Amino acid sequence: MESTISTTKKEGRSISDAFASHFAKSVFLTIAGIAVLVFIGTRMFTHIDLNLYGYMVGTIVFIGGFFYRFIAWGERPPTKIIIKKGLKLLFRKSTAKTAVSHLAIYDFIRNRGVYRWVQHILIGWGCVLACLVTFPLVFSWMYFTMENNGYYTIVLFGMNVLKVPAEGIIAFFSYNALNIAAVMVISGVCMALYRRLRNMQARAEQKFMYDFLPLYLLLFISITGLLLTFQNIVLHGWMQPQMSLIHQFSVIVTLIYLPFGKLAHIPFRPMSVFARNYREHYGEQHMKECKVCGDKFVSVEQSNDVIQVLGVNDIEFNMQDGFNLAELCLPCRRKYRISRFSGFATHQVKVKEANQNAKG
């Protein structure tokens, strides 16, 4: 007597079934995409600058670390809500204005002071300029060739896109873009260090490994980069190979460290556009009134999302007075918590803190 065993489990046919996690799939697809672009940009790997090989490896490790950090952060219930609803609101009319304000001119920092605003402009745009120049060179998406007629040819993805005079302004800025970025970063970092060392509150709140180390890394990279140019022009190449290795090592270490330290907020910054769109869109629909003072302090959608997220994490803030703590504005919430310890109903006092709208 023969018996047959049939399995009802369907074979996995999705690409996700080939990977152990979303992290593994995202990293693999990203690296594969970069490999394809390198293949195209180098004309089937016929033009690869091996002097930049270390930077390429460091960049790939950075991508893996960034995806790990981003996915771990994105799996949190509050972040899921912001990303999901932010994507739906991405094509709002105000998105372009918000992106310029948050990602280009840093209006939110200018409100804290012009000094800090200039400092962030120099560091932020210095790093962006350096990345826009470095990454295409590292992956050989862009490079320069020179013929005997005194003209540089700019090659982009294997195609000759522009010929410029070797002594012209375009060639000058192309070859000195990293030096300009280094000067910007050095200026911004020095401003930041001066403020942190001079301001007593900043000195008390900030730690060396988390707050100061990233600035020292950026400073070291920028200085060694400028020294390469100085050695090439003034010292005629003396000790340049050694300095090149020191500079390359500092860049690789910073790239590996970047996703796991304070500098991680640089690639995470675009998410602020999602958060701003989320607050503005639902704030225009219906605002939540505080259960104590009646002030409209947040959108109904955001208040409900906060309560939902707290429930997902098995955290309950339902008070004996018949409301959730998330339904109070911040001043009333603080006073209500004080009342729980003091026994005095401070949350029923209509006077609010004098500094509730303070900037900084």
Beta strand 159-165 with 287-289 is unpaired
What pTM was estimated for this model as a whole? Answer: 0.78
Q: Which of 53, 25, 3 is nearest to 252 (CA)?
A: 53
How confident is the model at residue 219, as a pLDDT? 95
Task: Give phi and psi for 160, each to the nearest 5.
Answer: -75, 110
How confident is the model at residue 53, as a pLDDT? 81
Inter-residue long-range contacts of 3-9, CB under 8 Å, 24+ positions, other chains counted: none
Q: Which two tokens stand for residue 25?
A: 């799939």
Residue 278: DSSP 8-state: H
How confident is the model at residue 190, as a pLDDT? 95
How confident is the model at residue 8, as a pLDDT? 46
The C-alpha atoms of residue 37 and residue 141 are separated, in whole angstroms, by 7
Q: What is the 3-state secondary structure (H, E, C) of 316-349?
A: CCECCCCCEHHHCCHHHHHHHHHHHHHCCCHHHC
Is 309:78 a contact under the CB 8 Å cutoff?
A: yes
pLDDT per 10-residue tile (average), the chain, 360 residues: 46 69 80 84 78 85 86 85 89 89 88 90 93 87 79 83 85 89 96 86 78 92 94 87 91 90 85 89 87 85 86 75 81 79 63 50
Domains, the chain, ranges and CATH?
20-272 (1.20.950), 286-348 (no CATH)
